[in-house]
Every structure is written in C-alpha cells, then in structure tokens.
Amino acid sequence: MSKVIPHSFFTEFDIDLFKAGKHFRLYDKLGSHLTEVDGVKGTYFAVWAPSAKSVCVIGDFNYWTTGEHELYVRWDGSGIWEGFIPGVDKGTKYKYKIHSHNNDIWTEKADPFARYCEQPPNTASLVWDAPHKWQDSKWMDTREEKNGLDRPYSVYEVHLASWKKKNGWESLSYLEMADELVDYVDEMGFTHVEFMPVMEYPYDPSWGYQLTGYFAPTSRFGKPEDFKVLVDKFHQRGIGVILDWVPSHFPEDAHGLGFFDGSHLYEHPDRRRGYHPDWKSLIFNYGRNEVRAFLISNAVFWLDQYHVDGLRVDAVASMLYLDYSREDGEWEPNMYGNNENLEAMSFLREMNQEVYASFKGVQTIAEESTAFSGVTKPVHYGGLGFGMKWMMGWMHDTLEFFKKEPIHRSYDLNAITFSMTYAFTENFMLPFSHDEVVYGKKSLLYRMPGDEWQRFANLRLMFGYMFTHPGGNLLFMGGEFGQSSEWNFQESLEWHLTQYDFHSGIQEVIKDLNKLYRTSPALYEKQFSPDGFQWIEYNDRENSVVTYIRKGNDPKDNLIVACNFTPVPREDYRVGVPKHTQLKLVFNSDDAKYSGSGMGKKTLKPSKTTWNGHEQSVLMTLPPLSVVVYK
C-alpha cells in the first residue's frame, strides 16, 4: 500500500471561514472522500485535531497498524491534518489514531465527518459515497408553498427500530420502510413524518439521542443511499420529512467526539458548562468557532444531501440556561450575571439564519420546555429564529385534565382554556410525543379514565380537541390506534390491536381528523395568529363544555367547534353563532363508525335568539365525551 501523498481540498478562503466559524459546508472538505490524484484512485482524509502531535489513519487496508499512514498537518495553524492515500476504496473501514501533545495521550477515534459507520457495537468509520438519483423534483419545486407556516402540519413521530418488526424481532430496513411506512403514513393522512434521530448512535436505549456519527444515517437499517430512497419515496407521496437533531450534547464513548485529540476539543472545558448531569453526556463548546461551524455544517448537511424538510432541535432548554439541572454552586453566571447561555443563544440564531437563507421551504422546530421569550421570533427582532416550538405547557395541562374523572373536570376547565392566553406568543406545535408514553406514564389510552367505552371516547375527544386547537400537531406512533401498552423501544407496536373495533375506530378518527385539517383552511391558514381563533363560551363549568370558532382567510371556511368533556349527553345545548346560516356537521368523534354512540345532528338551523354575545344561535346535540365540528 502506498504512503500518504500531500493533497488538500482546502483553499485559504476555506481556512479563513473555518477559523471564523463561518464555514457551513465542512462536510465537503473534512472527513474521507473518494477522489483521484494524478490519475490514481484513492481516498483523501482530513481531520481537525489541533492538539495532536501526529495523526495517522488506521484501518483494514493497513491491518490497523499505527504509523503506516500519517497525515500532514497544515501550516496555517488551522489544526487540520490531511492527505491522500492511494488505493483506499469505498467500503474501507478506518479510524484516526491521534498522538496528543497533551500529556503524550493517544486516542483512537471514528471520523466525526464519516458518511457511514459500522453497525454497533462495532465503531469504525467507512469510506463511502451515497449515489442516488432523486425523483422528488415535484415536491422540491413546490416545497416552499406546501411547507409554509400557513399550511397543515400534522406530524407522525416514528422510532424506526420499533415501528414494526418482522419475524417477531427484526426491524424493517430503510428500503422496506420505503414501502410499508410510506404507504401507512400516506393512508393515515399525515402531512409530515418525523424520525427520532437517524444519525449513528452506539447505545439502543438512548433511542438515538446520544450521537457518535453526526453525518451518517445509522447502519442498523441499511446503507446511506437506502435512507435517501426512504426520504425520496415520502416526497413522491407529498409527505414532508423532519429529522430530530441533537446539537445539545453527545456521549463520552471512547470512539466519539469527547476528548478527541487529547484535549476538550468539541466539549466545553469547564465541567460546569461541558457536562450534562441528567444524561451523563458532554455539552458542545458553543463559543468555539470551529465547533459552531461543525454543528451548523451538520444541520445544513441533512437539508442539502438528504433533502429533508425540517429539523426538530432536541433539548433546546438545556442549551439556553447555564443552571439547567444544576444546583447553586454548580454553575457560573454569564457576563451579565444571569443564567442565560449567551454563546448557545448566538449559535442557535446563526444556525437558523443559515438554514433559512440557504433552503427554501424548510422549517426548524424547537423542543423548548420553558417560557423563554422569542423562540420563534425572527433573529432581526431579537428572537432565536425557529419556525415553530413545541407547546409543552398545553401538552401537560391537557393530559392532566383528561386523566381526571369527568365529574371533577368542571373544577379544572381552565386547564383546557388557559392555553389560549399564550397560544399566539410563539408559533406552537402541539405534541403528544414519545416522552409521554414511557417511564411509567402509561399509554395515552390508559391515561384516560372510565370503562373501556369511556377510555376510547375520551381519547377520540382529546384528539379532536388537539386537531381543532390552533397550531400544528404531532402524534407519536401507536397513539393513532390507541396502543394499550407503553412504548417499548425493543418491541414492535401492537399492530394486532387494529383488528378490534375500538382501536380501528381510533385509526379512523385520526384519518378523518387529518383529512379535516388538510382540507379546512380555517384550521391552518391562521393557526399561529389570534385572528384565527375566537371563543364562543369558555366558562360553562356546569356542563364542562367549551365552544369556539376557527377562522380562515375566507369567512365561508370558518368552523364551529364544541367539546363535551363529560359522559352526559347535552340535548338542545344552545350555542351562539356569528351568522344566520345553516351549519353542516363535518366531524363528530362520537360517530358510530368510530365505535361511538352515533348521537348528533347533521345540520343546524340558527334561530334569532341572542346567545354568547351573538344575535343568533343554534341548538346542538352534544354526544357524551365528544367533539363536534360544524361548517
């Protein structure tokens, strides 16, 4: 095997951008790249290791021998080591062996920019390219229109390893999911799918949130090009793809980013800012230019190379606060004496600016659980620049309300109505995510009180309330058919339950709610604006009923929604309406096809009886534990 030949992909301008933290396409330069030099085929390697005394490439091509293929350090102080090794082909396994100036330490690391990794528990990187002829031009050409904030966002959250198993234990491959999962999401009517992290991770119980291969789709389900096929197939069906992205922390695994070159290269050197006590993981040094460039390049990579349509950014709250999960004395205030992580805030703003400037029709979504102000406000107005934010307060209040026996709900009706006091302070997405069906919290179905009929009626009601509340929606897999058990990442969803009427009824409810959402401008055109919502009655505690109007750009599209949170039917329940126009029922969660009781009126004719501040009103029949929607 030939020795390392001096070669570089970097220009002086690249290096200047890298040092300044402004190079957001580092994946084109760093890592391993199949190339040809002077007519000889091989692989170019480049790695950032400024504290290194030497860096060599070890792999199956040189029998993992240290010192055989030593890279050259650049003369410009960038800390980049690089070189071309002839004859190294696609599929070659390799790592970097780094000898550090720091106490003469040796580290053996996977490539931070590897495009493909060995399947865990193995940890080597693979030289790879992922050719794919994209067939999603129709989606990409119209994505800006379809993926805007004034369009429907009904998201199906998926853990790829446990959505469905074959042979009772084996996860589906990317290619198998390109058939089965795409068909299912399309059939159910979701507008988007969101994958829990697909980037390579070593430890299955982390669900993918402890990443070691930031630029590589996990090899558990196939090759990188297979994952491109999966994204492509979703796009061909008109379904957007959102990826969970984790710039908040990373594990201390020996082959990962931690103590990479014998120094605190990627993580903050101060343990008070560089270690996460909850997750026993390391926190990125957001104040280091090269680290910011690494992370923003990673966000750009998935949008660029894999055509994804959005990034849901995990654990944003943990990034924003220096005292997150820390007691007094375990954190240090910022330069202004408060608890905000100014460097992380600056990083998030810059990331969002780059993403929105470079890609039309994409969205970033923050999982941010505090009252931090301006998460979805534009950067030029002092915000963080996200497109949407998970509405965690709504989720907690809603689940707490629904677990109560209906007889007690009249005392806590404000848990349902309170969200409207802040619903438009951010662009909110309403999440019933994986976090709500684990760790003893029970499944959504078994949080509901009452007998079997009431459990399912409550769940149908909760979903109807969710879809008619302002904002986008997210539902974790299994919830759409009323899975009985908590989610278990090692097992398949309980698909056998769908043979039973109550469970198939929940599926039909979700299908119809998705259709209602997609086809009703009143539910999405102004979903982030107070102009899109109006209370009719929010304080009828005696009956535990709330009524409201959802509004679109055209008043003819407006919808009237009534929620009955008790199992007592309400005959001739009077509701004030804004116009003297016949109303038509467009959704009833108590419909017999959902295994409901089948109560409710198909049409309503207003009378000139003043009610709820309106000059006319209708007499509704509100079925037990139901939501009805009229147009």
Sequence-distant (≥ 6) Cβ neighbours of residue 55 within 8 angstroms: 47, 49, 70, 71, 73, 81, 96, 97, 98, 99
Q: pLDDT tier at 436 (50, 70, 90 boundaries)?
A: very high
Between CA 295 and CA 364 the distance in angstroms is: 14
**Would you say residue 461 has pLDDT above 60?**
yes
Sequence-distant (≥ 6) Cβ neighbours of residue 415 within 8 angstroms: 397, 398, 400, 401
Average pLDDT over residues 41-50: 98
In a domain, 185, yes or no: no
The catalytically annotated residue of 314, 397, 426, 480 is 314
Phi/psi for 308 (5° steps) reads -70, 160
For position 199, what pLDDT does the model report? 98
Interior angle at CA 45, CA 42 and CA 50, nearest 5: 160
Domain boundary (92, 127, 162) is at 127
DSSP 448: S
Strand 192-195 to 472-476 pairing:
unpaired
What's the number of CA atoms in the CB half-sphere (13 Å) around residue 169?
0
In a domain, 553, yes or no: yes
Q: Tens digits of per-residue pLDDT, 376-418?
A: 999 999 999 999 999 999 999 999 999 999 999 999 999 999 9
Contact 391, 429 (CB under 8 A): yes
Average pLDDT over residues 541-566: 97
In a domain, 114, yes or no: yes
Q: Which domain holds residue 621?
A: 530-630
Average pLDDT over residues 513-522: 98
For position 2, what pLDDT does the model report? 65
Contact 303, 359 (CB under 8 A): yes
**pTM of model > 0.85:** yes
Tokens of 222: 């196939």
For position 579, what pLDDT does the model report? 87
For position 168, what pLDDT does the model report? 81
What total number of domains does the chain contain?
2
What is the rounded radius of gyration, in angstroms, for the C-alpha atoms of the chain? 27
HEC readout, 256-303: CCCCCCCCCCCECCCHHHHEECCCCEECECCCCHHHHHHHHHHHHHHH
Q: Tens digits of per-residue pLDDT, 148-174?
A: 999 999 999 999 999 999 988 899 999
Beta bridge partner(s), residue 473: 154, 430
Beta bridge partner(s), residue 200: 213
Residue 146 corresponds to which amino acid?
Answer: K
In a domain, 94, yes or no: yes
**Chain Cα centroid distance, residue 114:** 23
Sequence-distant (≥ 6) Cβ neighbours of residue 77 within 8 angstroms: none
The catalytically annotated residue of 309, 367, 426, 436 is 367
Between CA 149 and CA 146 the distance in angstroms is: 9
CATH number for the domain spanning 553: value is 2.60.40.1180
In a domain, 458, yes or no: no
Q: Tens digits of per-residue pLDDT, 471-492?
A: 999 999 999 999 999 999 999 9
- Asked about 480 being catalytic, the answer comes back as no
Query: Which of 398, 483, 452 lies closest to 567 in space, CA to CA?
Result: 452
Give, in order, the Cα–Cα distances in Å from 268 to each of 51, 250, 273, 573, 575: 15, 12, 6, 61, 58
CATH number for the domain spanning 115: value is 2.60.40.10
- Asked about 60 being catalytic, the answer comes back as no
Q: pLDDT tier at 216 (50, 70, 90 boundaries)?
A: very high
Q: pLDDT tier at 314 (50, 70, 90 boundaries)?
A: very high
Average pLDDT over residues 300-315: 98
In a domain, 609, yes or no: yes
Domain boundary (98, 127, 156) is at 127
In a domain, 97, yes or no: yes
Between CA 131 and CA 253 the distance in angstroms is: 30
Give, in order, the Cα–Cα distances in Å from 64 to each of 27, 56, 93, 219, 359: 25, 10, 9, 22, 41
Average pLDDT, the chain: 96
Domain boundary (103, 127, 151) is at 127
What sign for the dihedral angle of Cα 451, 453, 454, 459? positive
For position 410, what pLDDT does the model report? 93
Tokens of 3: 């020795």
Interior angle at CA 565, CA 563 and CA 566, nearest 5: 130
In a domain, 266, yes or no: no
**Chain Cα centroid distance, residue 288:** 26
Q: Given the structure tokens 């539902």, which residue do they identify?
A: 475
- Which helix H or strand E contains 353, and what residues bound it? helix 342-358
Query: Which of 525, 314, 529, 318 lies closest to 433 in space, CA to CA?
Result: 314
